A and B are shown apart, each in its own frame.
Chain A
Amino acid sequence: MSTGPRVVGQRLPRLDAPGKVTGTAVYAADFALPGMLHGKVLRSREAHARLLGVDAARARTLPGVRAVITAADVPDVRYGGALKDETVFARDKVRYVGQPVAAVAATTREAAEAALAAIDVAYEPLPAVFDVEAALAPGAPLIHEAWPTYTAIPILHREGNVCNRARIVAGDVERGFVEADRVFEHRFRTGMVHQGYTEPRAAVAVWDTSGQVTVWSNTQLPFEIQNTLAEILALPPSKIRVIVPGIGGGFGGKLRVGVEHFAALLARRAGRPVKIVTTCEEELTAAYPRQSTRVELKTGVTRDGRITAKAGRIWFDTGAFAGSGPGVASVATLVLAGPYRIPNLLIEGYAVYTNKTNCGSFRAPSGPQANFAVESQMDMIADALGLDPLDFRLKNIVREGDEGPTGQVLTAVGLEECLRRAAAAIGWADRRPTADRGKGLACGWWTTTGGSSGVYVKLNPDGTVALNTGAAEIGTAALTGAAQVLAEDLGVDLADISVVSADTFATPFDFGAQGSRTAFAVGNACRAAAADLRRQLCALAAAQWGVAAETLTVRDKHVVGDGKRIALVELARLSQASGGGLIAHGTFIAPPTAYDAKRVEAHVYPAFHSPSFHAHAVDLSVDRETGEVTLHRYVVAQDVGFAMNPTYIEGQIEGGVAQGLGQALSEEIVYEGGRVLNPNLTDYKMPTTLDLPRVESILVEHPSPVGPYGAKGVGEPPNIEPPAAVANAVAAAVGVRVTTLPITAEKVALALSGEATP
């Protein structure tokens, strides 16, 4: 390896490309079994109501109906992540419009729908709360009256409708404000948005005669689903096999159990395989979207632009169940502190119950919401102080060896380079080139999520290599990246690697496709497995030649040394003839990131592992009369540590920016009185290609000491900064500061006409 990497770092085509571009790849929604029934879920029509009765007798008699299940038919189990507050079906009461009440399986989808319509549900409406303010008001109705009795991880700080309050305290924030020359206070709001994955959530379940259930689903986390199903079905995990055939996008929306449990319960009742695929309406009313938030920021600054203190609060509307909320509220505090040197901090993140769908994780959970507030305020402060927003950031950003907000020591900090290169690329010196045209900047930091990964690596009879991983290929090409690492370290080509993935029986454990960790963690596990396999190969060759294994190396599909060489294909043959073939096991767990535990309370995520740093810049125009925004150019400079495959990193950046621009300008799930007004893709406005600018990617490489070849997580960050960058550019273009998301043309136009505060 003295000549530098041959495979890793190269722009090689992804391993799953042929199947995906020819339409032959099998996704979960494609998956079918003989005799399969179709399942449907009956969902609450009330936002908050006592459940007086669910009468399914008539539905059970309808033609084609093979199973109808209600709360009475399933184990009375509360499940969940950090907080176990959810049940399969509503039991005592319903808590949001869309909450499952019953499910049916029938020979056709139409028969299943007819059966849903034949189930009578009696509700007695209760007072409901639809936003954080109402949920926190004195005397507000409790979403979960029995919250103190729920099982939860002990560190959570809970009270009534608050299912966690995470906090960072550093220095003395009041003293910091005294030291400031100016103190700025601003409020922001962000809307609820959906991940917008192309494939809806889907699952097929079948039971065998031994009482084992197999579930094919498009989950990002097969091992978590295995455990959740074990809880829900009251079975040991060994009775539950979860397989991911393929995922048509997830972006965090497919982390938690979606329809797998309904499919499994219905299949058990019917004695036949059952498939469930959600509808678009179910996706937009009863999935795991990004939380809407309210943010308050108070920042103290000296006259020359040094930040002395920041007090920030962010409230997440987590909906009727905690879900990812307690964790997201924790992560948010690190984003809200920002990638800045601030000696005095008091940052709080609240996850608050309301009578809305259970929000979840969406690509960089909390990132866009908190970053929108932080980076909007940075520009507002810079404007007020008469500073250039880039200079103001450069005065305050973290640099090599600085402490993060919770005391972690930051290394491989590429932020200054990101900011300078993004600004240069967008032409920052000419920030307002023509009337109504402006440029905006935003920067941020993010984590590379930890958790362990295991891989098996097997030498095939032809000398090629099978990579067996528990991680699912979510679409990012992360497993191609991991395979590039493996190929590099085994001296073979990428095309020599085949991947088997995401089967809880057949593949080793993996923490899952989440948190920008797959290529990072699986890649490192591949490095360990490759080292093991090299040892085995050298030992086998050494035994043949009667030399010491230490004198041999693996290179270019051969073991070489002692003046000899032997091909991997020959070693494969020898190993199968003598020793049952060669299999190596590699594992990885990110080393813990040290932080100051005294600075955090009720915090589920106190430090960012192998943090990445990034800066975005956008050039746009605003139509002063209609408020319409036209995006001209978009630049991302992202510190990726090491670019395992630049092509797919650019793909992640382009996709993340597109998704972020949707959140910035057009997307929002709109609720009124507990009902979603736009549960369809006509009125839930994801951007089209005509709405999006060309995205220019600048890959900055400050290697992580623990990443494979120095790589950091790359998948989530591109989604974080677009809303703030756009808000700052709109302000630069026409002088209007929109502090709520999305920044619709309507908000801009009404603000420009002096009619409204955005």
Chain B
Amino acid sequence: MSFECHEPSSVTDAVALGARFGEEGRFLAGGTDLIIQMRRGKVGPRHVMSLHRVSGLDRIEADGAVRLGALVTHRTIERCPAFQGPLQALVESAAVVGGHQIRNVATVGGNIVNASPAADVVPVLLALDATVTCLGPDGERTLTLDGFLTGPGQTARRPGELLTSVRFDQLPPGSATAFVKAGRRKAMEISVVCVAVRLTLDAAHARCQEARIALGAVAPTTLRARAAERALEGQPLTDEVLRRAGRLAAGECGPIDDVRASARYRRLLVETLVPRALRRSLERIGRAA
């Protein structure tokens, strides 16, 4: 393994380097995925462009819409006071990524660009209808996160383009989020299945106004369970309705058998964890009300 290391000191310089090296370059943020992939020989970039000298990408702005710089770490998300309320799923998902040392350096931008279907924070962002902003030689563009993730390890990012931020709107009143995860152990674990949900109830808290369900590790990308969402919207959220959403979500995901779990266990988990996450969201809305 041999490569040239670059340390651009601004977003402009980083993007210029990205444009210069194209497919032969990789941006390095926390490195918790990239370095492992390089060590295992899965990727072999000729140029590694470390972003650690680039300032301004490690901030969370939460006045109005929420904007997370690409270099915001999982630890920062975990401790962000703005995420202790309805956005709590962000904390729940960030807090179960790896161990403390990993979370201290692993970034949200890296988690998105790595495009692992088992990423933990990504389903929460998907449930928040997040968009991502990329900066490249042709300027800036903003895409929906859903459209950005195209396959395992694959995104719509163009060669040399730098993902600079992820953005989503604050939730309306009567909303909550929840994240639940299943794995073989209680920490340091890659999800066998993870589920993120967002619920917004109507003013009377009688019916579901809007629902988002995102599933991890059960398809080539993090996946919205749209049929399950539709089955909730406009409905009073009885336990039977929630369980039906779980069955629909299990039906619309496409898990595989691998060393971590079988496809049928993953479906069973989706069927179980979707209503569990929805129930948790409902409780949170109830508590907040």
Instruction: Show the binding face of A for B, using Cβ within 8 Å.
Output: 110, 625-626, 628, 665-666, 670, 677-678, 682-683, 685, 687-691, 744-746, 749-750, 753, 755
Contacts of A670 in B (CB 8 A): 259
Say yes or no: A690 contacts B182, CB within 8 Å.
no
Q: List 19 A-B contacts (CB under 8 A).
A: A626-B269, A626-B273, A665-B184, A677-B259, A683-B190, A685-B184, A685-B185, A685-B189, A687-B185, A688-B187, A690-B185, A691-B186, A744-B184, A746-B262, A749-B265, A749-B268, A749-B269, A750-B265, A750-B268
List chain B positions with a Cβ less than 8 A from chain A. Answer: 1-2, 182, 184-190, 258-262, 264-265, 268-269, 272-273, 276
A750 pairs with B184, CB closer than 8 A: no
Apart from A745-B184, A746-B265, what are 17 other A-B pairs with CB-CB below 8 Å?
A110-B2, A626-B273, A665-B184, A666-B184, A683-B190, A683-B260, A685-B184, A685-B185, A688-B186, A688-B188, A690-B186, A690-B187, A691-B186, A745-B182, A750-B265, A750-B268, A755-B268
Distance between Cα atoms of A690 and B184 in the complex (Å): 12
Chain A residues with CB under 8 Å of B1's CB are 110
A626–B265 Cα distance when bound, in Å, is 9
Instruction: List, in ascending order, chain B residues with CB within 8 A of A683's CB.
Output: 190, 259-260
At the interface, is chain A mostly helix, strand, loop or mixed? loop
Shortest beta-carbon contacts, A-B, top 9: A625-B272, A690-B186, A677-B259, A746-B265, A690-B187, A688-B187, A685-B184, A666-B184, A691-B185
Return chain A residues, CB-CB under 8 Å to B268: 749-750, 753, 755
CB contact under 8 A between A688 and B265, given known A110-B1, A678-B259, A682-B190: no
Cα separation A436 to B187 with both chains bound (whole Å)? 23
Distance of A110 Cα from B261 Cα, bound (Å): 35
Q: CA A665 – CA B189 in complex, angstroms? A: 14
A628 near B259 with CB under 8 A, answer: no
List of B residues within 8 angstroms of A628 by Cβ: 182
A670 CA to B182 CA, complexed, in Å: 20
The one of B182, B258, B259 that contacts A626, using a Cβ cutoff of 8 Å: B182
| Complexed CA–CA distance, A683 and B185 (Å) | 11
Q: How far apart are the CA atoms of A753 and B184 in the complex, in Å?
A: 18
Query: How many residue pairs between the two chains, A and B, have CB atoms under 8 Å in the bound complex?
Result: 50
Chain A hits for B262, CB < 8 A? 746
**Smallest Cβ distance from A610 to chain B, in angstroms?**
36
Could you say which residues of chain A place their CB within 8 Å of the CB of B185? 666, 685, 687-688, 690-691
Complex Cα distance A370/B261, Å?
26
Chain B residues with CB under 8 Å of A690's CB are: 185-187
- Chain A residues whose CB sits within 8 angstroms of the CB of B187 once the complex forms: 688-691
Among B187, B188, B261, the most chain A Cβ lie within 10 Å of the Cβ of B188
Q: Which of B2, B188, B261, B276 contacts A746 (CB 8 A)?
A: B261
Residue in chain B with minimal CB distance to A676: B259
Specify which chain B residues have a CB less than 8 angstroms from the CB of A744 in the assembled complex. Answer: 184
Cα distance, A251 to B189, chains bound together (Å) = 25
Q: Tell me the minimal C-beta distance from B111 to chain A in angstroms.
A: 16
Instruction: Please name all residues of chain A whose beta carbon is closer than 8 Å to the beta carbon of B190 when the two chains form the complex.
Output: 682-683
Q: Which residues of A contact B265 (CB under 8 A)?
A: 746, 749-750
Q: How far is the CB of B250 from chain A (nearest CB, A)?
A: 12
A628 to B273, CA, bound (A): 12
- A625: which B residues are within 8 A, CB to CB? 272, 276
User: In the complex, how many angstroms separate the beta carbon of B161 from the nearest chain A beta carbon?
Assistant: 28
Closest beta carbon of chain B to A675's beta carbon, Å: 11
- For B272, the chain A residues whose CB sits under 8 A away are 625-626
Contacts A678-B259, A683-B259; A755 near B184 (Cβ below 8 A) = no
* Residue pair A755, B269 in contact (C-beta under 8 Å): no
* Interface core residue of A670, A690, A745 (most chain B CB under 10 Å): A745
Residue of A nearest to B2 (CB): A110
A685: chain B residues within 8 A (beta carbon): 184-185, 189
> How far, in whole Å, are A745 and B262 apart by their CA atoms in the complex?
12
Give A749 to B265 CA distance when docked, in angstroms: 8
Chain B CB within 10 A, most for which of A677, A685, A746, A755? A746
Q: How many Å from the CB of B132 to the closest CB on chain A? A: 26
Q: Which residue of A lies closest to B1 (CB)?
A: A110
A670 to B262, CA, bound (A): 13
Closest to A662 in B: B185
Residue numbers in B under 8 Å from A746 (CB-CB)? 261-262, 265
B46 to chain A, nearest CB (A): 16
Shortest Cβ distance from residue A659 to the other chain B in the assembled complex, whole angstroms: 14
Cα(A97)–Cα(B154), bound, Å: 31
User: Measured between alpha carbons, how far is A683 from B259 in the docked complex, in Å?
Assistant: 8
Complex Cα–Cα for A670 and B268 (A): 22
Residues from chain B with a CB closer than 8 A to the CB of A110 are 1-2
Closest B residue to A281 by CB, please name it. Answer: B40
In the complex, what's the smallest C-beta–C-beta distance from B37 to chain A, in angstroms?
12
Q: Is there contact, CB below 8 Å, between B273 and A755?
A: no
Q: How far is the CA of A625 from the CA of B242 in the complex (A)?
A: 15
Q: How far is the CB of B179 from chain A (nearest CB, A)?
A: 15
Q: Which residue of B lies closest to A683 (CB)?
A: B259
Q: How far is the CA of A685 from the CA of B268 in the complex (A)?
A: 21
Chain B, residue nearest A668 (CB): B259
A685 to B184, CA, bound (A): 7
In the bound complex, how far is the Cα of B258 from the Cα of A222, in angstroms? 41
Give A688 to B259 CA distance when docked, in angstroms: 19
Residue in B2, B184, B188 whose Cβ sees the most chain A Cβ within 10 Å? B184
- Which residues from chain B contact A691 at a C-beta distance below 8 Å? 185-187
Return A674 CB to nearest CB of chain B, in Å: 15
| B217: min CB distance to chain A, Å | 13
Q: How near does chain B come to A105, taking the closest CB pair, in angstroms?
A: 19
Q: How far is the CA of A670 from the CA of B269 in the complex (A)?
A: 22
Cα distance A744–B262 in the bound complex, in angstroms: 12
Chain B residues near A687 (CB-CB < 8 A): 185
Determine if B264 and A750 form an interchain contact, defined as CB atoms under 8 angstroms apart. Answer: yes
Give the docked Cα–Cα distance between A342 and B157 (Å): 70
Residues of A within 8 A of B189 (CB): 685
In the assembled complex, the CB of B258 is this many whole angstroms from the nearest CB of chain A, namely 8
Distance in angstroms between the alpha carbons of A329 and B225 in the assembled complex? 51
